[in-house]
Amino acid sequence: MIWTYRTLTNSDLPASESSDDFVHEKGLQYGHLQGLRYHDSPLRLTSLIVLCCSIALNVYLILFGRGTGNTNITPLDRYDPMWDTPDLVYSPAQSAVKYETRVFTALGVQTKYHGPPTDETDEAWDALYPIGVARITAEEASQLSNWTSPIPGDEGHYVVGLDVFHQLHCLNTVRKALWPQRYSRHDTLSAPGAHTHVDHVDHCLNILREHIVCTANTTPNVFQWSEDKKMIFPHFDSVHVCRNWESITEWAANHKFTKPHRDISKLPGHHVE
């Protein structure tokens, strides 16, 4: 479900729904009644009663009627804010987004991604993004915020890459740059336009910076007393709400572009309007 929403400003409010405008408007309109007394004519007394009822009804509608507005707006705590914000950025992989809670790794605990590089750690890192780019339909391509190129010889299909795989590639590139004695400069020199391995690593660092600032994860890391350190110490093994990784990679595998990478670099620059 896609819906358009923008912040309501004071200028957008009708006069009947703005308290300041309401008071100003009604004050001008009914100012002649300010000196009215109950001993005035029955007509004026009736008018005063009608006015009071009208004001009471308007106040009620202002205070309680707004909750019956757009019933399509869903509370953000049940859905991904990335998909429930104004000016939605379409992704063909949106249907693959599912959620789960996950506890992050505690400080000091070693995983297969930790430590000095070995054949095993290289295999683990490479296995995170083996799929490469994806193949989508012309209809899906037409909904993208930016145009993308068609696939030569594959009528009606276009090429995209999920950003998460590029981010993992960048993180792995930075990891390799920390161990120049194992990895040659060729291992960190694959970015288009990069003249040196430093340029590529610099590009990757900035990509990761932009992603971290963009997502701005607000999951709280708690502080607990450490008997070993004799101080309150941060715990990073906190519960997070995460997108299901298997669901994302399954979508990517089902849409995998199977031609050699050199064919992608020669794609013509046509795009879907």
* Angle 182-187-189 from CA coordinates, rounded to 5°: 140
Strand segments, DSSP code E, in the chain are 99-103, 134-137, 157-160, 222-226, 231-235, 239-243
Backbone φ, ψ for residue 135 (5° rounding): -115, 125
Give tens-digit pLDDT for 163-220: 999 999 999 999 999 999 999 866 655 555 556 778 999 999 999 999 999 999 999 9
Residue 74 has pLDDT above 50, yes or no: no
Residue 32 has pLDDT above 70, yes or no: no
Greater confidence, 62 or 110? 110
What confidence tier does 84 reach under pLDDT thresholds 50, 70, 90? Answer: low
Residue 3 has pLDDT above 50, yes or no: no
User: What is the reported pLDDT for 1?
Assistant: 42
Give, as one character, the DSSP assignment of residue 132.
-
Residue holding tokens 């145009």? 147
pLDDT (mean) for 92-107: 95
Q: pTM higher than 0.75, yes or no? A: no
CB 204 within 8 A of CB 163: no
pLDDT (mean) for 146-156: 89
User: What is the reported pLDDT for 154?
Assistant: 86
pLDDT (mean) for 242-258: 95
Copy the structure tokens of residue 101: 């809670």
> How many residues can be counted in the chain?
273
Q: Domain extents for the chain?
A: 111-218+245-266
Greater confidence, 155 or 233? 233
Helix (H, G, I), strand (E, B) or coil at 228: coil
Look at 17-21, 117-121, 154-158, 193-197 and tell me which has the smallest mean pLDDT: 17-21
DSSP symbols for 198-218: HHHHHHHHHHHHHHHHHH---
User: What is the reported pLDDT for 155?
Assistant: 82
Look at 35-44, 62-71, 91-100, 241-250 and tell me which has the smallest mean pLDDT: 62-71
What confidence tier does 56 reach under pLDDT thresholds 50, 70, 90? Answer: low
User: What is the reported pLDDT for 218?
Assistant: 95
Residue 162, classified by CB atoms within 10 Å of its CB into exposed (0-12), middle (13-18) or buried (19+), is: buried
CA distances from 225 to 164, 222, 239 (A): 35, 10, 18
Helix axes 19-29, 42-64, angle to 10 degrees: 170
User: What is the reported pLDDT for 21?
Assistant: 44
What confidence tier does 88 reach under pLDDT thresholds 50, 70, 90? Answer: confident
DSSP symbols for 169-197: HHHHHHHHHT-TTTS-GGGG--STT-SSH
Backbone φ, ψ for residue 256 (5° rounding): -65, 135
Residue 24 has pLDDT above 70, yes or no: no
User: What is the reported pLDDT for 80?
Assistant: 52
